[in-house]
Amino acid sequence: MELSRLAQALGLTLEAEDREIKRINTPELASKDDAVFLTSDKYLKDLPQTNAAVVFLRAEHKAIAPKSSVAIVCADPRLAFAKATAYFAQPLVKTDGKKAQIGRGCDISDLARIGKDTKIGSNCLIMAGVSIGDDVTIGDNVTLFPNVVIYNRTKIGDRVRIHAGTVIGSDGFGYATSKTGEHIKIRHLGRATIEDDVEIGANSAVDRAVLGETVVKRGAKLDNFVHIAHNCEIGEHSLITAHVVFAGSVKTGRNLVVGGHSGFNGHIEIAPFVTIAAKSGVTKSIKKSGTYAGFPAIEHGEWLRQQVRLAKILRKKRLTPTT
């Protein structure tokens, strides 16, 4: 897409030579054909070194943009980003492309749908009602139970089992709000990746990334009704029990164990070998291994001591005579 056309669509002024823009990317990963939108201050550290062709940013950040990039000032880069994603989103269904490549020994139901330019490995079992989108890659010995949905561009490794009703690669919950209160959808341009030896229970969801990828790493096991939001990274050999929710961009270390009905705030990091007790709320990053509980989640020993102190206070209050 020509930069001049993109700027015009966003109601912005281009005061530089026109050029072709192929994709939207983060400052760290952007190439000379990419556009970057500075939607958060967390990207400021990467901005001076970016190779992006153009950067959309607020006026106060223009001075730190590299001279090799065109800097376009906008009042609300997040809102501009949301509008721009509509111009780079791929079609929901391919109208051309090659028939899916299917490996030897596969058992695929006649009631399954498989999109174009998709590759399926050997010895896979794909049951009735499964829908696999375009440009999907599936490894060997994969089992997809009835009514699993795999969105476009998803990558699935070897020996993966995904149970009935689960959705992989759906859009995350992302919107930018205008001054008049309208919610503008952010098209999620990334993908979801499920690595080898992962098992995902029934009626779970793993969202695609806004940019880049959401990853469930090798050997992780997810129970029923688990939600992994956009751009999360779930560490190797993690055990996630039912009704656990990860907000966007959570990054966990290996062998995370999470009790049911727990939730994770977005944009936090969890150290390796952490256990989270059931019904906990993890609101900030956890930097050392151990067991945590409560809301907000704290070290399990401290949480137990707090519960004892609270019980004593409540007992004393019940025994205190009233006047």
Q: Are 90 and 1 in contact (CB under 8 A)?
A: no
pLDDT at 16: 85
The verdict on 44 and 139 lying in the same domain is no
The verdict on 208 and 257 lying in the same domain is yes
The verdict on 250 and 133 lying in the same domain is yes
Where do we find the tokens 């949480």? 303
Q: Are 78 and 183 in contact (CB under 8 A)?
A: no
Asked, for residue 93, whether it belongs to a domain, the answer is: no
Q: Are 192 and 95 in contact (CB under 8 A)?
A: no
- Share the mean pLDDT of the chain: 95
The verdict on 141 and 267 lying in the same domain is yes
The verdict on 187 and 107 lying in the same domain is yes
Tokens of 274: 């952490």
pLDDT at 323: 55
The verdict on 71 and 115 lying in the same domain is no
Structural domain total, the chain: 2
Q: What is the CATH number of the domain that holds 167?
A: 2.160.10.10
Asked, for residue 241, whether it belongs to a domain, the answer is: yes
275: containing domain: 101-301
Flag residues of the chain having pLDDT under 50.
none
The verdict on 30 and 66 lying in the same domain is yes
The verdict on 258 and 199 lying in the same domain is yes
The verdict on 131 and 187 lying in the same domain is yes
Q: Are 127 and 112 in contact (CB under 8 A)?
A: yes
Asked, for residue 316, whether it belongs to a domain, the answer is: no
Asked, for residue 320, whether it belongs to a domain, the answer is: no
Asked, for residue 308, whether it belongs to a domain, the answer is: no
DSSP 27-42: TTT--TTEEEE--SGG
Tokens of 255: 């062998």
Residues 152-161: tens digit of each pLDDT: 999 999 999 9
Residues 202-235: tens digit of each pLDDT: 999 999 999 999 999 999 999 999 999 999 999 9
pLDDT at 322: 61
Q: Which of 44, 61, 88 is the last residue before a domain boundary?
A: 88
Asked, for residue 184, whether it belongs to a domain, the answer is: yes
**What's the CA gap between 194 and 232, in Å, rounded?**
12
Residue 195 has, within 13 A of its CA and on its CB side, a CA count of: 15
The pTM for the full model equals: 0.93
pLDDT at 317: 79
Q: How many helices (H) and strands (E) does the chain have?
A: 3, 35
**What's the CA gap between 208 and 54, in Å, rounded?**
25
Q: Which of 88, 110, 133 is the last residue before a domain boundary?
A: 88
Q: Which of 34, 60, 88 is the last residue before a domain boundary?
A: 88
pLDDT at 227: 98
Asked, for residue 318, whether it belongs to a domain, the answer is: no
The verdict on 233 and 139 lying in the same domain is yes
The verdict on 35 and 76 lying in the same domain is yes
pLDDT at 41: 86
The verdict on 141 and 243 lying in the same domain is yes
Q: Catalytic residue positions? A: 230
Q: What is the CATH number of the domain that holds 82?
A: 3.40.1390.10
Residue 109's Cβ-count burial label (10 Å; 0-12, 13-18, 19+) is middle
Asked, for residue 314, whether it belongs to a domain, the answer is: no
